Amino acid sequence: MAENHNPLPQRPRPNAIPSHLINGHSPLHPSSSNDRDNSERESAYNAIKSSMGPRREPIDLDHPSPDLDASHSSSAPVQTLPSPAARQYEEVNDHDLDKIALNNGHNAARDERDGAPLTPPPTNRASSPFTQGSAIDFDGLSWPSVGTLARKNERDSPEDAAARLAKLSGAVRTILECIGEDPDREGLHGTPERYAKAMMFFTKGYEENLRDIVNGAVFHEDHDELVIVRDIEIYSLCEHHLVPFIGKMHIGYIPSRRVIGLSKLARIADMFSRRLQVQERLTKQVALALSEVLRPQGVAVVMESSHLCMAMRGVEKAGAVTTTSCMLGAMRKRAKTREEFLSLLNRSR
């Protein structure tokens, strides 16, 4: 006689990862998502701010700065804590695990010198947009330098503008004399004036601002998929050697019921590139500016360029290409969204 076996009811097998936690996105905790977005934006702002301090000194690895020495000699050494974005890349060897001491919930510095600031803190004018946390300055500037406002005001004063151009032309004439040339020979006749005008054009981005560039070209549109503009040509000047770096920029964003005219993406990139720049800061500035204008779900900017400062001089590697990126919002925290953006960039190449 066969035995009757009553199988136990099968319970549904739980998923390894809850659906609301896939790719790090949790609609159950919108506040935590907003906190992450604000932290990412603040980290990028601080990176731009620290690189543009008007009185910062270059880092000297052989001779510590006076401020650094002073911080060692003080009775209460200053401890600097890594930013949230930096802590995720912090690596600790296995043999160091038992040596780590906790200090107010953070890892204590392994060496007392690591707890001191490596460079003097940046100093900016109180009226700088950095202190306002915004890329849009309705005084007519976007992330200005020290003398930007004076240059902008000269557009209404032809006499002052002519005086600035004459001063710059005189400086170029001095350069020609210093390199052993004759500024008055036929081939160089008028070169100081031509170069001065060219330099003012190369750096015309200082006189522009987001308000005028966008010019109201932001529209309501119920679209929540990627928008990408690829291969935007970029021409900028390296602020270390005043020679060009040339490349292409790719900009993508996920709208949040607002879209921007496509040409404005290229104009924003051009505005920030027509300044003395480093590629890392240029990439961040474009991403943050677009984030300020649209408040999208996410922004991604990737830039590839060749730097003549390492092709014509120095290491002389003409084929080297530098790639930088800045991801904000959903582009940073969702791996699949980021991969989709990068895969679309590589398509048809």
pLDDT-derived band at 35 (thresholds 50, 70, 90) equals confident
Higher pLDDT, 323 or 75: 323
At residue 150, the pLDDT reads 86
Three-state secondary structure along 2-25?
CCCCCCCCCCCCCCCCCHHHHHHC
Tokens of 32: 């935590």
| Angle at the Cα of 49 from the Cα atoms of 146 and 204, rounded to 5 degrees | 45
Instruction: Spell out where 183-275 has E strands.
Output: 218-220, 227-238, 244-254, 258-260
Per-residue model confidence as pLDDT tens digits over 295-310: 999 999 999 999 999 9
Q: Of 74-88, 134-148, 272-286, 333-347, where does mean pLDDT reach its minimum?
A: 74-88
- pTM, rounded to two decimals: 0.66
> Of all helices (H) and strands (E), which one includes residue 103?
strand 102-103
**Domains in the chain with CATH codes:** 148-205 (1.10.286.10), 217-346 (3.30.1130.10)
Helix axes 191-202, 158-178, angle to 10 degrees: 120
Higher pLDDT, 209 or 37: 209
Higher pLDDT, 34 or 184: 184
**Phi, psi (rounded to 5 degrees) for 143:** 50, 65
Active-site residues, by number, are: 238-241, 279, 307, 309
Task: Round to whole Å and give the CA distance between 240 and 348.
Answer: 35
Higher pLDDT, 281 or 132: 281
25-252-301-207 Cα dihedral, nearest 10 degrees? -130
Per-residue model confidence as pLDDT tens digits over 188-236: 999 999 999 999 999 999 988 888 899 989 999 999 999 999 999 999 9
At residue 196, the pLDDT reads 97
Per-residue model confidence as pLDDT tens digits over 223-272: 999 999 999 999 999 999 999 999 999 999 999 999 999 999 999 999 99
